[in-house]
Amino acid sequence: MLITKKTSNLLIVTNVPVLSNFSSTLLQNVADMTNKGAELGLNAVAISTKDVNWQIGYNISYNKNTVTKLNNANNNPDFIQTNPNSGIAGTTSGLIQANKVGYPLNSFYVFQQIYDANGKPIEDGYVDRNHDGQINSADQYLYKKPDPTVLMGISSSVRYKRIDFSFSGRVSLGNYNYNNVASGSTYRGLYSSLGYLSNQTKAANDTKFTNALQTNLSDYYIQNASFFRMDNMTVGYTFPTFSNNKYKLRVSAGVQNVFVITSYKGLDPEISGGLDNNFFPRARIYQLGLNCNFQ
Amino acid sequence: MFVTSCTKKLDTKPIDPLVTTSATLFDNPAAYKQFLAKLYGSLALSGQKGQFGAPEIQASDEGTTCFLREYWAAEEVTTDECLNAWGDGGLVEYHGGIWSDNNLYVQLMYERLFINIAYTNEYIRDVNAKLGGLTGSLKNDATQYVAEARFLRAYFYYCAMDMYGNCPFATEADLPGTFIPKQIARADLFKYIESELIAIQPTLADAGANEYARADKAADWALLSRLYLNAKVFTGTDRSTDCITYCNKVISSGKYALHNNYRNLFLADNNSYRDEIIMPIAEDGVNTQSYGDMTFVIHAAVGGSEDAANEFGIASGGWAGNRPTNTFVNKFADPSGNTDKRAIFYTSGQTIPITNPTVFTQGYLSAKFKNVTSTGARGSNDTFVDTDFPLFRFAEIYLNYAEAVLRGGSGGDRGTALSYINKIRDRAYGNASGEITDGQLTLPFMIDERGRELYWEAFRRTDLIRFGLFTGGSYLWDFKGNVPNGAATDEHLNVFPIPASDRLLNSNLKQNPGY
């Protein structure tokens, strides 16, 4: 199924010209956005006999999201509206996401990191994108996005005589997270300016930044958070009926949040909004079930 | 078939007495003063609610949207008087002179100044419309309130002219809404500010006669003397003579003198020193709570081994951000403070020189502002300070007079200028050992003496620009140009850029050269 969806008059907090109002920003219905995509779903019964039954379900969806309008003033194509809800923890002057016409919603607004011969990031070394001889906030650019490009779901259930087994999982591709935990972790942070030693996570060893002036705005911390997550797996056994078909008994055991396969270095790649800071970890839940039908 | 419609007027006022709209606001006579209080409050607060929660300007840290914090950062962090240790992108660019039109602090300062101006415009427009219907003492009060609002507006436009040069411009004649303001040239804005300040003089209260922290004639004269001293920078024409005229008005009012103790001027009970402080930004730990006013100035400077609770009165702890560069500390012949008592530096546990700006234990700390009283008692609140910020102080008048004389203004003489400088030096040293001779009274001496007397009171950038030292290579300080020993910066940095965010919305605004 192919989809094109145009949404207009979206609510957005956008800047207004100074002196025209009593606030620097207004919540207005001025933004427009387009979503183009395709979806496909497949369901199959692979095997169906008296003793064995195997069903598989699979769906995939692809979505391309583009912002098409940001304000009513003159809709200057160079206008970048930073996202006021994307503050970087640990600093007073950092917003990490922004919107611009022609880019996906809430793209990351970062510096382009320079790497040395070994592939390690050079501390506070960024590309001078506008070639003006200075590295400052005019050299930031829009890079990647927090929302996935492709989503897949897969589920399957198998029954062999009295034993049944089922699982379901999801895949998300093309979503990126801003790893705020890693960006806030540097060797400089070990020495609190109030005179004591502070804790930092091991991410500080990856970069070995000691000065860390603007490193939390580097695109090094925009990490690929594509993942495959097995949401749940269940195994069950149905007892033979007894007492003249009066009782039907089934026991089961299952796990929720079974495993995640991802290259993302943070705690959990699946974070809505793409800002990984102080994320409360998802629990893995083990459960036992007993199901009894009384006739 | 029936057709119904309304026959009475559809414009109605809400009857609910708890609802206030712009039409009913001034039905309550107390509203005139309450709204005026909001205008004064906009010097220190971030919005209508104390602390944080209801900001007028969107930013990830609400404290950074307040006037004093932004103005202080723009005037101090860009100079030799302050090197910030936080590593926040906007401030790193400030001190290194590498800012672009995308710099967040430039944008916040701009938005704050013009929101404050928008509020004053609204007040003047509303109250002027009501004045005809008032009588008696309320009418006299309201007329004076309008004059004070015009003073505040002139002051904010002065700051905007100083920072941005050619600014967007609107007065009470322009109604708020979706109009796009036009840009005014710096020299024309100067004329407007000058005409406003002169026009309101008869209506303002007499020098020292108004309620505490409200504008009066002396504040008006002080702002004019500051305006004229910098006229060459703003318009290209020297106005030193007019500067001396207004300095003399303040001095001859007889209401002001140097307070006998420099250090007490910056403590929690400095609201009682109306002899020297002409107009402050009033602060109170209970009633004026904001993270962007004097609370910021004090907290940001405390860290290292300083005793935040007992020595500074801020038990909630310092933020370890601001301290002076080594270059500035050396402007004092004796940084220990034993001879020149204005050298108030905290040195225990601090090392010099500063090799790494983000390490707060490098460099001497400034202990000038504290939230303790002159008797050592802590302020009323552990976080929000009681110490007022001296916006206009009498010592500045003496310094303005002396400099205007040196620059060739008439109406004053060298002898009087020398005596004023020596009064300042006597107060600083506690005796006559610091006095200078006529031969030592030169312009290079003046910029250094202004630094020693007025440091961290948001003068430095304007002063350095006037002396041609802010950019270029004649005066280098730690990390100027983002290089440890300092490097020359380009002249276009003497004016901040119009923020990109506003230029993309307002096509009337031309960018300043070099950006």
B186-199 vs B217-229: helix crossing angle, rounded to 10: 160
Residue ranges of B 131-170 with Cβ closer than 8 A to chain A: 168-170
Residue ranges of B 319-358 with Cβ closer than 8 A to chain A: 320-321, 349, 356, 358
* Helix H or strand E segment including B32: helix B30-41
For residue A88, the chain B residues in CB contact (below 8 A) are 60
Tell me which of A171-175, B51-55, B302-306 is least confident: B51-55
Q: Which residues contact B462 (CB under 8 A, 6 or more apart)?
A: B75, B162, B230
Cα–Cα dist B17/B10, whole Å: 19
Residue B60 lies in a domain: yes
- For residue A75, what pLDDT is reported? 66
Are the C-beta atoms of A36 and A54 separated by less than 8 Å?
no
| Count of other CB atoms within 10 angstroms of residue A123 | 20
Are the C-beta atoms of B349 and A195 separated by less than 8 Å?
yes
In terms of Cβ atoms closer than 10 Å to its own Cβ (0-12, 13-18, 19+), residue B269 is: middle
Cα–Cα dist A214/A137, whole Å: 10
Give the CB-side neighbour count of residue B334, counting CA atoms within 13 A: 10
Give the CB-side neighbour count of residue A194, counting CA atoms within 13 A: 10
In tens, the pLDDT along A106-162 reads 999 999 999 999 889 998 889 999 888 878 778 899 999 999 999 999 999 999 988
Q: Distance, in angstroms, between B356 CA and closest chain A CA?
A: 7
Residue located via tokens 């020398």: B418
Residue ranges of A 170-229 with Cβ closer than 8 A to chain B: 188, 191-195, 211-214, 217
For residue A20, the chain B residues in CB contact (below 8 A) are 176-181
Residue B57 lies in a domain: yes
Cα–Cα dist B402/B424, whole Å: 11
What are the structure tokens assigned to A237, written together?
A: 């056994």
Average pLDDT over residues B190-214: 94
Q: Which of A14, A5, A30, A54 is nearest to A156 (CA)?
A: A54
| φ, ψ (nearest 5 deg) of residue B432 | -90, 5
Across the interface, whether the CB atoms of B87 and A71 are under 8 A apart is answered no
Across the interface, whether the CB atoms of A93 and B303 are under 8 A apart is answered no
Which one-letter DSSP state was computed for residue B179? -
Residue ranges of B 356-385 with Cβ closer than 8 A to chain A: 356, 358-361
Residue B18 lies in a domain: no
Residue ranges of B 380-409 with Cβ closer than 8 A to chain A: none
**A217-254 CB burial, b ≥16 within 10 A, e <16:** bbbbbbbbbbbbbbbbbbebebeeeeeeeeeeeeebeb
Which of B83, B100, B157 to mutate to probe the A interface, most A CBs <10 Å? Answer: B100
CB-based contact (8 Å) between B122 and chain A? yes
Give the CB-side neighbour count of residue B178, counting CA atoms within 13 A: 6
Number of domains in chain B: 1
CB-based contact (8 Å) between B318 and chain A? yes
Cis peptide before B353 (omega within 30 of 0): yes
% of chain B surpassing 70 pLDDT: 99
- For residue B438, what pLDDT is reported? 92
CB-based contact (8 Å) between B501 and chain A? yes
Q: Distance, in angstroms, between B472 CA and closest chain A CA?
A: 17
**B294-316 CB burial, b ≥16 within 10 A, e <16:** bbbbbbbbbbbebebeebbbbee
Cα–Cα dist B398/B449, whole Å: 11
Are the C-beta atoms of B58 and A84 separated by less than 8 Å?
yes
For residue B64, the chain A residues in CB contact (below 8 A) are 92-93
Residue B89 lies in a domain: no
| Count of other CB atoms within 10 angstroms of residue B49 | 12
In whole numbers, what is the pLDDT of chain B averaged over residues? 91
Are the C-beta atoms of A182 and A216 separated by less than 8 Å?
no
**B211-236 CB burial, b ≥16 within 10 A, e <16:** eebbbbbbbbbbbbbbbbbbbebbbe
Residues of chain A with pLDDT under 70: 72-75, 91-93, 193-195, 243
Residue ranges of A 58-97 with Cβ closer than 8 A to chain B: 71, 73-74, 76, 78-80, 84, 86-88, 91-95
For residue A71, the chain B residues in CB contact (below 8 A) are 505
For residue B85, the chain A residues in CB contact (below 8 A) are 193
Cα–Cα dist A125/A117, whole Å: 13
What are the structure tokens assigned to A176, written together?
A: 């990126």
Structural Rg of chain B based on CA atoms: 23
CATH number of the domain to which B181 belongs: 1.25.40.390
Range of the structural domain that residue B500 is part of: 31-65+100-204+485-515
Q: Which residues contact B87 (CB under 8 A, 6 or more apart)?
A: A91, A188, A211, A212, A213, A214, B357, B358
Residue ranges of B 186-245 with Cβ closer than 8 A to chain A: none
Across the interface, whether the CB atoms of A194 and B86 are under 8 A apart is answered no
Is pLDDT above 80 for B242?
Answer: yes
In tens, the pLDDT along B223-241 reads 999 999 999 999 999 999 9
What are the structure tokens assigned to B226, written together?
A: 């500051």
Cα–Cα dist B443/B421, whole Å: 13
Nearest CB to B89; choose among A20, A194, A214: A214
CB-based contact (8 Å) between B2 and chain A? no
What are the structure tokens assigned to B292, written together?
A: 């962007």
Across the interface, whether the CB atoms of A195 and B305 are under 8 A apart is answered yes
Across the interface, whether the CB atoms of B111 and A188 are under 8 A apart is answered no
CB-based contact (8 Å) between A20 and chain B? yes
Residue located via tokens 């062999």: A160
Distance (Å) of CA A193 to CA A202, B140, B297, B302: 20, 53, 17, 10
Residue B50 lies in a domain: yes
Q: Distance, in angstroms, between A12 CA and closest chain B CA?
A: 13
CB-based contact (8 Å) between B99 and chain A? yes
- ipTM (interface pTM): 0.78
- For residue A92, what pLDDT is reported? 65
> How many helices, marked H, and strands, marked E, lie in chain B?
16, 8
Are the C-beta atoms of B273 and B362 separated by less than 8 Å?
no
Are the C-beta atoms of B108 and B68 separated by less than 8 Å?
no
Across the interface, whether the CB atoms of B117 and A19 are under 8 A apart is answered yes
CB-based contact (8 Å) between B305 and chain A? yes
| Count of other CB atoms within 10 angstroms of residue B376 | 11
From first CA to last CA, the distance across chain B in angstroms is 69
Q: Which amino acid type is present at position B22?
A: S
Q: Which of B170, B499, A76, A19 is nearest to B511 (CA)?
A: B499
Residue located via tokens 């709204």: B35
Are the C-beta atoms of A73 and B505 separated by less than 8 Å?
yes
Are the C-beta atoms of A59 and A40 separated by less than 8 Å?
yes
Which one-letter DSSP state was computed for residue A269? S
Are the C-beta atoms of A125 and A114 separated by less than 8 Å?
yes
Q: Distance, in angstroms, between A121 CA and closest chain B CA?
A: 18
Q: Is A26 helix (H, G, I), strand (E, B) or coil?
A: strand
Cα–Cα dist B496/B499, whole Å: 9
Report residue B417's pLDDT band, with 50, 70 and 90 as the boundaries.
very high
Residue B284 lies in a domain: no
Residue B171 lies in a domain: yes
- For residue A203, what pLDDT is reported? 87
Cα–Cα dist B79/B30, whole Å: 43
Q: What is the maximum alpha-carbon separation in chain B?
A: 101
For residue B318, the chain A residues in CB contact (below 8 A) are 194
Tell me which of A131-135, B50-54, B156-160, B372-376 is least confident: B50-54
% of chain B surpassing 90 pLDDT: 68
State which residue of chain A sits closest to B304, comparing Cα positions: A194
Across the interface, whether the CB atoms of A78 and B361 are under 8 A apart is answered no
Across the interface, whether the CB atoms of B181 and A92 are under 8 A apart is answered no
Is pLDDT above 80 for B5?
Answer: no
Residue A102 Ramachandran class (φ > 0 left, ψ -120 to 50 alpha, else beta): left
CA trace torsion B202, B203, B207, B213 (10° rounding): -150
Nearest CB to A217; choose among B89, B177, B305: B89
Which of A69, A91, A123, A137 to mutate to probe the B interface, most B CBs <10 Å? Answer: A137
CB-based contact (8 Å) between A110 and chain B? no
Q: Distance, in angstroms, between A146 CA and closest chain B CA?
A: 19
A52 - beta bridge partners? A160
Nearest CB to A93; choose among B105, B177, B318: B105
Cα–Cα dist B207/B88, whole Å: 42
Tell me which of A66-80, A211-225, B103-117, B168-182 is least confident: A66-80
pTM over 0.90: no
Residue B312 lies in a domain: no
**What is the DSSP code string of A113-153?**
EEE-TTSPEEEEEE--TT-SS--SGGG-EEE--SS-SEEEE
Residue located via tokens 């801003």: A178
CB-based contact (8 Å) between B83 and chain A? no
CB-based contact (8 Å) between B497 and chain A? no
Residue ranges of B 16-75 with Cβ closer than 8 A to chain A: 56-61, 63-64
Average pLDDT over residues B408-436: 93
- For residue B49, what pLDDT is reported? 82
CB-based contact (8 Å) between B257 and chain A? no
Are the C-beta atoms of B62 and B307 separated by less than 8 Å?
no
Across the interface, whether the CB atoms of A135 and B303 are under 8 A apart is answered no
B372 - beta bridge partners? B378
Are the C-beta atoms of B486 and B480 separated by less than 8 Å?
yes
For residue A91, the chain B residues in CB contact (below 8 A) are 86-89
Q: Distance, in angstroms, between A56 CA and closest chain B CA?
A: 47
